């Protein structure tokens, strides 16, 4: 699903937008990624079944049929390659040399893809600026002091000074950060981010 997020960055911060968001990348390539779970191949898992059905429907049907006929261990060995691909590509999991499946999910993961603007391009309304048609001008990148916070819609999430706040997981903190944005230093940069999770 795609969400809108505003990233607020101090212009003195040497990190790029990508660097600031990297700790929140899903799938094991971003922040502190640890093996969170370990389970044996014959320990059936709802997430694996769901992933197989969504992304490898034909192979999933064959795997499930084989597991009913010949048992899960036999089906696992026969279809190991496709299961490995599904786990790696769609869940960020890996199969270790010991045959166990390990998660490498980032516990702080929020996104697997993002772009500046995207579906929410030009979400920031600008103070005292008009477009060619005489409407209030909008943009995807600005500084805090240029943004008309009264007419700018709230995003789903805010990343302020490298910390992530969203409406679902941290609603109280999110609301406080949103209220304080107009008071942030006028030179702080704001980026509209379209991210997928």
* The pair of three-digit structure tokens given for residue 30, joined into one six-digit string: 């971003």
Q: What is the pTM of this model?
A: 0.67
Identify the pLDDT of residue 80. 74
Identify the pLDDT of residue 31. 44
Identify the pLDDT of residue 30. 45
Identify the pLDDT of residue 3. 94
CA pair distance 92, 51, nearest whole angstrom: 11
Identify the pLDDT of residue 35. 44
CA pair distance 159, 149, nearest whole angstrom: 16
Work out the burial of residue 114: count CB atoms within 10 Å of its CB; fewer than 13 is exposed, 13-18 middle, 19 or more buried. buried
Asked if residue 20 lies in contact with residue 172, where contact means CB atoms within 8 angstroms, the answer is no
Per residue in 6-25, pLDDT tens? 999 999 999 999 999 988 88
CA pair distance 81, 119, nearest whole angstrom: 36
* The pair of three-digit structure tokens given for residue 96, joined into one six-digit string: 């270790």
Contacts of residue 15, defined as CB under 8 A and 6 or more positions apart, other chains included, come to 9, 162
CA pair distance 6, 22, nearest whole angstrom: 15
- CA angle, 169 as apex, 50 and 20 as ends, to 5°? 95
CA nearest to 148, candidates 167, 176, 129: 129
Identify the pLDDT of residue 45. 59
Per residue in 29-58, pLDDT tens? 444 444 445 555 555 555 666 667 777 777
* The pair of three-digit structure tokens given for residue 47, joined into one six-digit string: 């997430």
Under-50 pLDDT residues of the chain: 29-36
């Amino acid at each position: 699903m795609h969400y809108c997020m505003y990233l607020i960055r101090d212009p003195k911060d040497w990190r790029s937008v990508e660097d600031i968001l990297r700790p929140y990348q899903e799938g094991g390539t971003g922040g502190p990624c640890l093996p969170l779970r370990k389970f044996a191949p014959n320990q059936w898992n709802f997430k694996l079944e769901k992933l197989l059905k969504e992304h490898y429907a034909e192979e999933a049907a064959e795997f499930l049929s084989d597991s009913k006929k010949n048992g899960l261990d036999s089906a696992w060995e026969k279809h190991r390659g496709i299961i490995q691909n599904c786990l790696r590509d769609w869940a960020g999991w890996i199969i270790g040399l010991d045959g166990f499946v390990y998660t490498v999910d980032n516990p702080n993961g929020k996104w697997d893809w993002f772009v500046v603007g995207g579906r929410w391009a030009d979400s920031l309304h600008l103070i005292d600026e008009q477009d060619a048609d005489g409407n209030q001008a909008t943009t995807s990148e600005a500084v805090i002091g240029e943004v008309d916070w009264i007419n700018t819609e709230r995003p789903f999430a805010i990343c302020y000074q490298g910390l992530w706040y969203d409406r679902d997981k941290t609603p109280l903190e999110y609301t406080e950060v949103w209220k304080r944005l107009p008071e942030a230093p006028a030179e702080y940069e704001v980026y509209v981010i379209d991210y997928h999770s």
